Protein backbone atom coordinates (compact mmCIF):
# COMPACT_ATOMS: atom_id res chain seq x y z
CA UNK A 1 0.00 0.00 0.00
CA UNK A 2 1.43 3.38 -0.99
CA UNK A 3 1.39 6.45 1.20
CA UNK A 4 -1.98 8.13 1.18
CA UNK A 5 -4.01 5.17 -0.11
CA UNK A 6 -5.60 4.72 3.30
CA UNK A 7 -6.63 8.41 3.41
CA UNK A 8 -8.05 10.79 0.84
CA UNK A 9 -5.20 13.27 0.47
CA UNK A 10 -7.23 15.51 -1.84
CA UNK A 11 -9.51 16.62 1.01
CA UNK A 12 -7.25 18.69 3.22
CA UNK A 13 -9.79 19.44 5.90
CA UNK A 14 -10.43 17.72 9.20
CA UNK A 15 -13.85 16.93 10.59
CA UNK A 16 -14.67 19.00 13.71
CA UNK A 17 -14.09 16.04 16.06
CA UNK A 18 -10.74 15.23 14.39
CA UNK A 19 -9.72 18.86 14.70
CA UNK A 20 -10.54 19.00 18.41
CA UNK A 21 -8.76 15.71 19.09
CA UNK A 22 -5.64 16.89 17.26
CA UNK A 23 -5.62 20.29 18.97
CA UNK A 24 -5.91 18.50 22.32
CA UNK A 25 -2.88 16.32 21.54
CA UNK A 26 -0.84 19.25 20.27
CA UNK A 27 -1.68 21.38 23.31
CA UNK A 28 -0.83 18.57 25.75
CA UNK A 29 2.53 17.97 24.00
CA UNK A 30 3.20 21.71 23.93
CA UNK A 31 2.60 22.04 27.68
CA UNK A 32 4.59 18.88 28.52
CA UNK A 33 7.66 20.07 26.58
CA UNK A 34 7.94 23.74 27.53
CA UNK A 35 11.73 23.61 27.09
CA UNK A 36 11.18 23.51 23.31
CA UNK A 37 9.35 26.87 23.25
CA UNK A 38 9.80 28.77 26.54
CA UNK A 39 8.70 32.17 25.27
CA UNK A 40 5.69 31.08 23.18
CA UNK A 41 2.10 30.83 24.43
CA UNK A 42 -0.23 28.07 23.25
CA UNK A 43 -3.10 30.54 22.73
CA UNK A 44 -1.01 32.38 20.11
CA UNK A 45 -0.20 29.12 18.32
CA UNK A 46 -3.84 28.03 18.34
CA UNK A 47 -4.93 31.40 16.91
CA UNK A 48 -2.65 30.76 13.91
CA UNK A 49 -3.90 27.19 13.55
CA UNK A 50 -7.53 28.32 13.63
CA UNK A 51 -6.94 30.46 10.55
CA UNK A 52 -4.81 27.91 8.65
CA UNK A 53 -7.00 24.84 8.11
CA UNK A 54 -4.63 23.24 5.55
CA UNK A 55 -1.74 23.55 8.00
CA UNK A 56 -3.83 21.82 10.66
CA UNK A 57 -4.40 19.01 8.16
CA UNK A 58 -0.62 18.77 7.58
CA UNK A 59 -0.06 18.53 11.34
CA UNK A 60 -2.64 15.74 11.40
CA UNK A 61 -0.61 13.88 8.76
CA UNK A 62 2.58 14.41 10.78
CA UNK A 63 0.80 13.00 13.82
CA UNK A 64 -0.78 10.08 11.93
CA UNK A 65 2.58 8.93 10.57
CA UNK A 66 4.22 8.99 14.02
CA UNK A 67 6.00 12.34 13.96
CA UNK A 68 4.68 13.78 17.24
CA UNK A 69 4.88 17.38 15.93
CA UNK A 70 5.60 20.19 18.38
CA UNK A 71 6.49 23.88 18.27
CA UNK A 72 10.27 24.39 18.41
CA UNK A 73 10.40 28.14 17.86
CA UNK A 74 9.37 30.82 15.41
CA UNK A 75 10.69 32.36 12.23
CA UNK A 76 11.95 35.81 13.18
CA UNK A 77 11.33 37.21 9.69
CA UNK A 78 7.78 35.95 9.10
CA UNK A 79 6.52 35.43 12.66
CA UNK A 80 5.42 31.90 11.73
CA UNK A 81 5.65 29.15 14.33
CA UNK A 82 7.88 26.19 13.48
CA UNK A 83 6.57 22.69 14.05
CA UNK A 84 9.14 19.86 13.78
CA UNK A 85 8.62 16.13 14.15
CA UNK A 86 9.72 15.50 17.74
CA UNK A 87 9.19 11.74 18.00
CA UNK A 88 12.11 10.07 19.83
CA UNK A 89 12.97 8.04 16.71
CA UNK A 90 12.40 8.73 13.02
CA UNK A 91 8.62 8.55 12.42
CA UNK A 92 7.57 4.90 11.94
CA UNK A 93 5.00 5.71 9.27
CA UNK A 94 7.70 7.21 7.06
CA UNK A 95 10.47 4.60 7.08
CA UNK A 96 11.88 2.22 4.49
CA UNK A 97 11.80 4.89 1.79
CA UNK A 98 14.44 6.23 -0.56
CA UNK A 99 15.21 9.94 -0.93
CA UNK A 100 13.28 11.10 -4.02
CA UNK A 101 11.33 9.94 -7.08
CA UNK A 102 14.41 9.84 -9.32
CA UNK A 103 16.06 7.48 -6.83
CA UNK A 104 12.92 5.34 -6.58
CA UNK A 105 12.64 5.02 -10.35
CA UNK A 106 16.34 4.12 -10.66
CA UNK A 107 15.88 0.95 -8.62
CA UNK A 108 15.51 -2.11 -10.82
CA UNK A 109 14.28 -4.43 -8.05
CA UNK A 110 13.24 -4.37 -4.39
CA UNK A 111 11.74 -0.92 -4.76
CA UNK A 112 10.50 0.77 -1.59
CA UNK A 113 6.88 1.86 -1.45
CA UNK A 114 7.66 5.57 -1.63
CA UNK A 115 10.23 8.34 -1.26
CA UNK A 116 10.82 11.07 1.31
CA UNK A 117 10.41 14.15 -0.91
CA UNK A 118 7.10 13.06 -2.42
CA UNK A 119 5.70 11.99 0.94
CA UNK A 120 6.66 15.33 2.49
CA UNK A 121 5.10 17.25 -0.40
CA UNK A 122 1.88 15.23 -0.15
CA UNK A 123 1.74 16.05 3.56
CA UNK A 124 2.36 19.75 2.95
CA UNK A 125 5.66 19.78 4.88
CA UNK A 126 9.37 20.02 4.09
CA UNK A 127 12.25 17.78 5.10
CA UNK A 128 14.41 19.24 7.85
CA UNK A 129 17.66 20.73 6.65
CA UNK A 130 20.86 19.57 8.33
CA UNK A 131 20.91 22.85 10.27
CA UNK A 132 17.31 22.39 11.44
CA UNK A 133 18.09 18.78 12.40
CA UNK A 134 21.03 19.95 14.53
CA UNK A 135 18.82 22.61 16.14
CA UNK A 136 16.25 19.93 17.00
CA UNK A 137 18.97 17.85 18.66
CA UNK A 138 19.68 20.77 21.04
CA UNK A 139 16.21 20.17 22.49
CA UNK A 140 16.70 16.47 23.30
CA UNK A 141 18.19 13.19 22.11
CA UNK A 142 16.48 12.15 18.86
CA UNK A 143 17.25 9.27 16.47
CA UNK A 144 19.48 7.32 18.85
CA UNK A 145 18.39 4.03 17.20
CA UNK A 146 17.17 5.31 13.82
CA UNK A 147 18.20 7.88 11.21
CA UNK A 148 16.43 10.51 9.13
CA UNK A 149 16.87 11.78 5.58
CA UNK A 150 17.53 15.53 5.51
CA UNK A 151 17.28 18.04 2.68
CA UNK A 152 20.21 17.38 0.35
CA UNK A 153 22.07 20.11 -1.53
CA UNK A 154 21.54 19.89 -5.30
CA UNK A 155 25.26 19.46 -6.00
CA UNK A 156 25.32 16.27 -3.91
CA UNK A 157 22.03 14.99 -5.31
CA UNK A 158 23.26 15.49 -8.91
CA UNK A 159 26.08 13.07 -8.13
CA UNK A 160 23.60 10.42 -6.91
CA UNK A 161 23.91 10.98 -3.17
CA UNK A 162 21.62 12.10 -0.39
CA UNK A 163 22.21 13.09 3.24
CA UNK A 164 20.85 11.61 6.44
CA UNK A 165 21.54 12.26 10.11
CA UNK A 166 21.35 10.50 13.44
CA UNK A 167 22.61 10.78 17.02
CA UNK A 168 25.18 8.32 18.33
CA UNK A 169 27.65 8.59 21.22
CA UNK A 170 25.83 11.77 22.31
CA UNK A 171 26.91 13.40 19.03
CA UNK A 172 24.93 14.35 15.91
CA UNK A 173 26.35 12.89 12.71
CA UNK A 174 25.57 13.73 9.08
CA UNK A 175 26.26 11.00 6.53
CA UNK A 176 25.80 10.31 2.85
CA UNK A 177 24.27 7.37 1.04
CA UNK A 178 23.03 6.60 -2.44
CA UNK A 179 19.68 8.35 -2.77
CA UNK A 180 18.10 5.05 -3.88
CA UNK A 181 18.99 3.28 -0.62
CA UNK A 182 16.42 2.60 2.06
CA UNK A 183 16.45 0.99 5.49
CA UNK A 184 13.84 -0.09 8.02
CA UNK A 185 15.23 2.35 10.58
CA UNK A 186 15.53 5.38 8.27
CA UNK A 187 12.68 7.78 7.62
CA UNK A 188 12.48 11.54 7.56
CA UNK A 189 11.54 14.39 9.87
CA UNK A 190 9.55 17.34 8.64
CA UNK A 191 9.06 21.02 9.28
CA UNK A 192 5.82 22.96 9.00
CA UNK A 193 5.57 26.74 9.32
CA UNK A 194 2.26 28.10 10.63
Q: Residue range 74-90: average pLDDT?
A: 95
- CA dist 111 and 97 (Å) reads 9
Higher pLDDT, 6 or 63: 63
H or E, element range at 84: strand 81-85
Distance of alpha carbon 51 from the chain centroid? 22
Residue 123 has pLDDT above 90, yes or no: yes
Angle of CA points 111, 112, 116, to nearest 5°: 130
- pLDDT of res. 34: 96
DSSP label of 66: T
- CA dist 9 and 184 (Å) reads 24
Q: Residue range 61-72: average pLDDT?
A: 98
- pLDDT of res. 67: 98
Q: Residue range 57-74: average pLDDT?
A: 97
Residue 3: pLDDT band with limits 50, 70, 90 = very low
3-state secondary structure of 166: strand
Residue 13: pLDDT band with limits 50, 70, 90 = confident
Residues 6 or more apart whose Cβ sits within 8 Å of residue 86 = 29, 33, 36, 67, 68, 69, 70, 72, 136, 139, 140, 142
Residue 5 has pLDDT above 80, yes or no: no
Q: What is the pTM of this model?
A: 0.91
Q: Mean pLDDT across the chain, nearest whole number?
A: 93
Please state, as a whole number, how many other Cβ atoms lie within 10 Å of the Cβ of residue 47: 11
Residue 103 has pLDDT above 50, yes or no: yes
Residue 1 has pLDDT above 60, yes or no: no
Residue 8: pLDDT band with limits 50, 70, 90 = very low
- pLDDT of res. 4: 47
- pLDDT of res. 10: 59
pLDDT over 70 percentage in the chain: 94
Amino acid sequence: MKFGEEFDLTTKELAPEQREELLGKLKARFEKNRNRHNDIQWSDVQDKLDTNIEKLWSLSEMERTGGEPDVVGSDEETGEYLFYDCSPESPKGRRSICYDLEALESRKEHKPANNALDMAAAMGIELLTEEQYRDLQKLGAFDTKSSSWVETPERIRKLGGALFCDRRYDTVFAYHNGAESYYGARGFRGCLKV
